[in-house]
């Protein structure tokens, strides 16, 4: 049975002969009621405090759970972003290597073309030089033949 300060104050006792002195019993009951009232009030306040603290604790536990979930989500997101960045970097590197190989291949083809063109020009230069030499030798021979004709014709004129 739960007792309140009012129960203590309102309690009456059966009077008997040679019993307790009523004023002492009343004073004791008054003091007991006041003490019990203080304890009862403190108990009520403590229950309210416990209830408030339990509510706050539940709030903080919920907040902690949400923060934990956010942290896990952030870690997962960071891992996914890192993985995606790694894949993208690998793709960029592969594309750059492929482009570099294509460019190198094009440069090698161009180098081969330039070398072939240089060889062709060298052959052509040699051909032109040979043709020019032959032409000049023919012209020189022709010039000598004209001179030989001129000398003979002058000899013919002198002898006649």
List pLDDT tens digits, range 114-131.
999 999 999 999 999 999
> Do the Cβ atoms of 61 and 25 come closer than 8 Å?
no
Per-residue pLDDT band at 24 (split at 50, 70, 90):
confident
Burial class (CB in 10 A: 0-12, 13-18, 19+), 37: middle
Angle at the Cα of 140 from the Cα atoms of 135 and 146, rounded to 5 degrees? 125
pLDDT averaged over every residue in the chain:
90
pLDDT, tens only, 34-84: 888 899 899 999 999 999 999 999 999 999 999 999 999 999 999 999 999
Report residue 15: phi and psi, to 5°. Answer: -90, 140
SS3 38: helix
The average pLDDT across 135-145 equals 93
Report the distance separating Cα 145 and Cα 3, nearest Å. 158
Q: Domain boundaries in the chain?
A: 5-12+20-152
Q: Which residues contact 33 (CB under 8 A, 6 or more apart)?
A: 5, 6, 8, 9
Amino acid 14: pLDDT: 72
């Amino acid at each position: 049975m739960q007792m309140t300060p009012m129960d203590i104050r309102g309690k009456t006792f059966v009077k008997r002969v040679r019993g307790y002195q009523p004023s002492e019993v009343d004073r004791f009951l008054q003091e007991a009621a006041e003490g019990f009232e203080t304890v009862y009030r403190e108990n009520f306040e403590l229950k309210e405090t416990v209830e408030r603290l339990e509510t706050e604790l539940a709030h903080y536990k919920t907040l902690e759970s949400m923060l934990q979930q956010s942290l896990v989500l952030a870690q997962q997101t960071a891992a996914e972003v890192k993985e995606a960045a790694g894949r993208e970097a690998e793709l960029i590197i592969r594309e750059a290597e492929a482009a570099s190989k294509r460019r190198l291949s094009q440069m090698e083809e161009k180098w081969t073309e330039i070398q072939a063109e240089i060889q062709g020009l060298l052959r052509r230069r040699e051909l032109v030089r040979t043709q020019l030499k032959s032409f000049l030798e023919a012209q020189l021979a022709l010039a000598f033949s004209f001179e030989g004709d001129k000398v003979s014709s002058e000899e013919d004129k002198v002898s006649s």
